[in-house]
Amino acid sequence: MRPASQIWEQFVFGDGSQRFVWVWFKPQYAPQGLVVRIPNEFWKVEPPFVPVTLRNVLLTVGVDPVCIGMWQLYGMTYQSWNATNPLLDQPIPEPGLGVVAELVVYVAAPPMSFNYAPLPNYSQPATPFAFAPAVVAPGRDLTPIFDRIDVEWTSAMDIEKDLDRLRKMMVDLTGRLKALNRDLSSDERLYSSREDKQDWTDARRMLRDAEQRLRGCIKDFDIGDSSSAGYRKGYEQIYRQFIIPRIPFEGIEGQVEHFIFYRKLVTNLQGKMNNAYLNAVSNGERRAQQVIVRIAAKVREGQTRKTALGVMLDG
């Protein structure tokens, strides 16, 4: 409900230490959110002090944590899950040298549980307040709003198709990673060096980490905010019931931001899944294959020498 900032606003952190953060509400690249910059000297205050968590920072700047949909920090994106994500209460890591701690917070205010107007409660029969077609004032043209929502939803549907493709690739890759993650055979242990064994231990750890990230992304896709168990069903119902037939309804102007939010939501998931897949292939599958191929070569070489020695002894 705040107007967009014109300059950076300073908020004193509520722990009596006179630490402060800088906030910009509704920047151009996050019109439904805010940006919080934490100065480097913030971490130089001597303890004891209130932990620097996202929840505490949000309360400092007057934002209810329940209202946020997701946030970004140090290039990583996290979902709020209606303020139940335990990372909200974890201390924000101090930035490295030359890095600024900048939080980009996307707000869905009020929280997008579909229990408020103008979004209806889709688990219950439609109410007149939520679904009643609106009477358009003479001369008012809602075509740009219908067109923008149509564009946002169509873009989101294109991204969802790519998400389906990524999910199938991730499931296949998860199976390959699981098959690679094994103990060395007796011959492999015999002919590999200490360095080879350590490299294989490290490779197996990377395989487990990569598989865990893949499974997390698959779970986000299956039951996250962009799934039928999340926000998607509500958006689809609005689109089919009102946007396709071009029927005005109460609160249609506010729906533009919600559809933009959903498109950004699936775009973020697309980036997360792509990154997890590429990391799993590069740092998981390929690395493990390189180590095991190297060990296999040593096994062949050792067995060849053993066979040659046996022939000489027999001769």
Looking at the domain assignment, is residue 114 inside a domain? no
The 10s digit of each residue's pLDDT in 142-163 is 899 999 999 999 989 998 998 9
Residue 236 pLDDT greater than 70, yes or no = yes
pLDDT tens per residue across span 173-188: 999 999 999 999 999 9
User: From CA 149, how far away is CA 103, in angstroms rounded?
Assistant: 28
* 116: in domain: no
pLDDT digit string, tens, across residues 252-264: 888 888 888 888 8
pLDDT value at residue 230: 62
pLDDT higher than threshold 80 for residue 313: no
Are both 86 and 139 inside the same structural domain?
Answer: no
pLDDT at residue 129 in the model: 28
Say if residue 91 is in the same domain as residue 163.
no
Whether residue 4 is contained in a domain is answered as: no
In a domain, 113, yes or no: no
Same domain, 232 and 298: yes
pLDDT of residue 168: 93
For residue 192, which of 301, 293, 298, 304 has the smallest C-alpha distance? 298
214 and 283 fall within a common domain: yes
Shared domain check, 255 and 307: yes
pLDDT above 80 (res 201): yes
One domain for residues 216 and 290: yes
pLDDT tier at 1 (50, 70, 90 boundaries)?
A: low
Q: Which helix (H) or strand (E) holds 173?
A: helix 143-180
User: Which residues span the domain enclosing 30?
Assistant: 9-107
**Number of folded domains in the chain?**
2
**Does residue 184 form part of some domain?**
yes
Q: For residues 141 and 199, state if they share a domain.
A: yes
Q: Which of 117, 10, 118, 135 is nearest to 61 (CA)?
A: 10
Average pLDDT over residues 98-124: 53
140 with 258, same domain: the answer is yes
- The predicted pLDDT at position 179 comes to 94
> Same domain, yes or no, for 168 and 204?
yes
In a domain, 2, yes or no: no
Same domain, 65 and 171: no
Looking at residue 133, what is its pLDDT? Answer: 54
Q: What is the pLDDT of residue 123?
A: 34
The one-letter amino acid at 116: Y
- Residue 17, C-beta contacts closer than 8 angstroms, at least 6 positions apart: 45, 49
Do 46 and 175 sit in the same domain of this protein? no
Residues 89 and 173 in one domain: no
Residue 3 belongs to some domain of the structure: no
Helices (H), ranges, 181-286: 186-191, 194-223, 232-238, 252-279
